[in-house]
Amino acid sequence: MIDVKPLGSIGQGVAGDKKVFTTGEVATLTGLSQQTVIRCFDSGRIGGFRVPGSSSRRIPREELERFMRTHQIPMGETETYDCRVLLIDDDQDTIEVVTKALEAMDRIGLEVASTAWEAGIMTVSTKPDIVIVSARLCDLDMEQVCRSLQGHVETNSVRIVALARRFRREETDVLRELGVETFLRPPLKAEDILSLLPSRMTC
């Protein structure tokens, strides 16, 4: 039996039209801790899938609703994140480090895009606060990404972090002018990622 704390009110279904949820969103909706949700996922008590190339777990809406009905959990609305992070990279080691660094933290949303096309879609749909982008992704033009992010009304305050093993001096000068705030060199460590977050979230 799962010990849950009931939500204060019943909303109009689970999080509007959202189709897939992170473990953090499920924790908010159910009143469970995120670690409990992860254990339920890993044991098969709540269905879902892992994001390819990472350890991130995703729970489809129908699985979440089935789980909540089974355990008589009111279906309230999810809270918004305090910080949303978009990682644009196809390197599995980098994805793993970023995922592990952020997954256990409260009210931080992480999405991963492995192609320029996915990055464009997710930028619009998630409205990230921080974008961590590989400057060497094969189908991506880093300068165009920066212009696109800074030119988008909803993302005009986004913080851009560029990843590459090496940056040429002239390259960093151009990217700084286009809004890149931080340059990181893989292999990354958890502290590299946590240092990008607002100080209030890492206290």
**Separation between Cα atoms, residue 82 and residue 171, nearest integer Å:** 32
Query: For 38-48, how does the pLDDT look when each residue is reduced to its tens digit (9 = 90+)?
Result: 888 999 989 99
The average pLDDT across 140-159 equals 76
The CATH code belonging to domain 1-79 is 1.10.1660
Against a cut of 0.85, is the pTM above it?
no
For the segment 5-35, what is each residue's pLDDT rounded down to a tens digit? 333 333 444 556 678 888 888 888 887 878 8
Residue 18, pLDDT score? 77
Q: At which residue do the structure tokens 């990843």 appear? A: 163
Residue 130, burial from CB neighbour count under 10 angstroms (0-12, 13-18, 19+): buried
| Structural domain boundaries in the chain | 1-79, 83-197
Q: Which fold has domain 83-197?
A: Rossmann fold (3.40.50)
Q: What percent of the chain has pLDDT over 90?
A: 35
Q: What is the pLDDT of residues 93-134, one digit of tens each?
A: 999 999 889 877 777 888 888 888 778 767 776 778 999 999
